[in-house]
A and B are shown apart, each in its own frame.
Chain A
Amino acid sequence: MDDLARELIIDRYQNPQHKGRLDPHDLGYEDDNPLCGDHIRIELRVDENDVVTEAVFDGHGCSISQASADLLVEKIIGKPLAEVRAITKDDVLESLGIELGPVRLKCALLSLKVLKGGVYGLEAGQASDELL
Chain B
Amino acid sequence: MQTLNIEALKRDFPILAREVHEGIPLVYLDSAATSQKPAGVLDAMDTYYRRYNANIHRGVHKLAEEATGAYESARERISRFVNANQAREIIFTRNATEAINLVAYSWGRKNLTKGDLVILTEMEHHSNLVPWYILAEERGIELAYVPVTPEGLLDLDTYRMLLERKPKLAAFTHMSNVLGTINPVREMIAAAHAAGALALIDGAQAVPHLPVDIQELDADFYAFSSHKMCGPTGLGILYGKERLLEAMPPFMGGGDMIKRVELGRFTVNDLPHKFEAGTPAIAEVIGLGAAVEYLAEIGMEAIHAHERQLIQYALERLEEVPGVWVFGPEASQKGGVAAFTFDGVHPHDVAEILDGNGIAVRAGHHCAMPLHQKFNITATARASFYLYNDHRDVDVLIEGLYKVRKVFGKNDKPQGQAHG
Residue ranges of A at the interface with B (Cβ–Cβ < 8 Å): 1, 6, 10, 14, 35-37, 39, 60-64, 104, 107
Quick check: A37 and B364 within 8 Å, CB to CB? yes
Quick check: A62 and B348 within 8 Å, CB to CB? yes
Residue interface mask B241-261, A partner, CB < 8 A = 1: 000000000000000000000
Quick check: A63 and B349 within 8 Å, CB to CB? yes
Does B100 have its Cβ within 8 Å of any Cβ on chain A? no
Interface residues of B in 290-345 (CB under 8 A from A): 344-345
Quick check: B363 and A36 within 8 Å, CB to CB? yes
Chain B: interface residue total (CB-CB under 8 A): 16
Does B193 have its Cβ within 8 Å of any Cβ on chain A? no
- How many whole Å from B374's CB to the nearest CB in chain A? 14
Residue of B nearest to A1 (CB): B352
The 5 closest A-B pairs by CB, nearest first: A37-B378, A62-B346, A62-B348, A63-B349, A37-B379
Among the interface residues A1, A36, A104, A107, which one has the most CB atoms of the partner chain B within 10 A? A36
Quick check: B364 and A36 within 8 Å, CB to CB? yes
Contacts of B347 in A (CB 8 A): 36, 62
Does B375 have its Cβ within 8 Å of any Cβ on chain A? no
- How many whole Å from B349's CB to the nearest CB in chain A? 5
Residue ranges of B at the interface with A (Cβ–Cβ < 8 Å): 344-349, 352, 363-365, 372, 378-379, 407-409
Among the interface residues B344, B349, B372, which one has the most CB atoms of the partner chain A within 10 A? B349
Residue of A nearest to B379 (CB): A37
Contacts of B408 in A (CB 8 A): 10, 14
Bound-state Cα–Cα, A118 to B409, Å:
34
Contacts of A1 in B (CB 8 A): 352
Bound-state Cα–Cα, A89 to B174, Å:
44
Bound-state Cα–Cα, A107 to B346, Å:
12
- How many whole Å from B285's CB to the nearest CB in chain A? 31
Contacts of B364 in A (CB 8 A): 35-37
Contacts of B348 in A (CB 8 A): 36, 61-62, 64, 104, 107
Q: Known contacts being A37-B364, A37-B365, is A62 close to B349, with CB within 8 Å?
A: yes
Contacts of B407 in A (CB 8 A): 6, 10
A-B contacts, 14 listed (Cβ < 8 Å): A10-B407, A10-B408, A14-B344, A14-B408, A35-B364, A36-B363, A36-B364, A36-B365, A36-B379, A60-B378, A61-B348, A61-B378, A62-B346, A63-B349
Bound-state Cα–Cα, A60 to B378, Å:
9
Among the interface residues A1, A60, A62, A64, which one has the most CB atoms of the partner chain B within 10 A? A62
Residue of B nearest to A66 (CB): B346
Contact of B409 among A10, A35, A36, A104 (CB under 8 A): A10
Quick check: A104 and B352 within 8 Å, CB to CB? yes
Contacts of A63 in B (CB 8 A): 345-346, 349
Among the interface residues B345, B346, B372, B407, which one has the most CB atoms of the partner chain A within 10 A? B346
- How many whole Å from B399's CB to the nearest CB in chain A? 18
Contacts of B409 in A (CB 8 A): 10, 14
- How many whole Å from A110's CB to the nearest CB in chain B? 12
Residue of B nearest to A35 (CB): B364
Bound-state Cα–Cα, A64 to B348, Å:
9
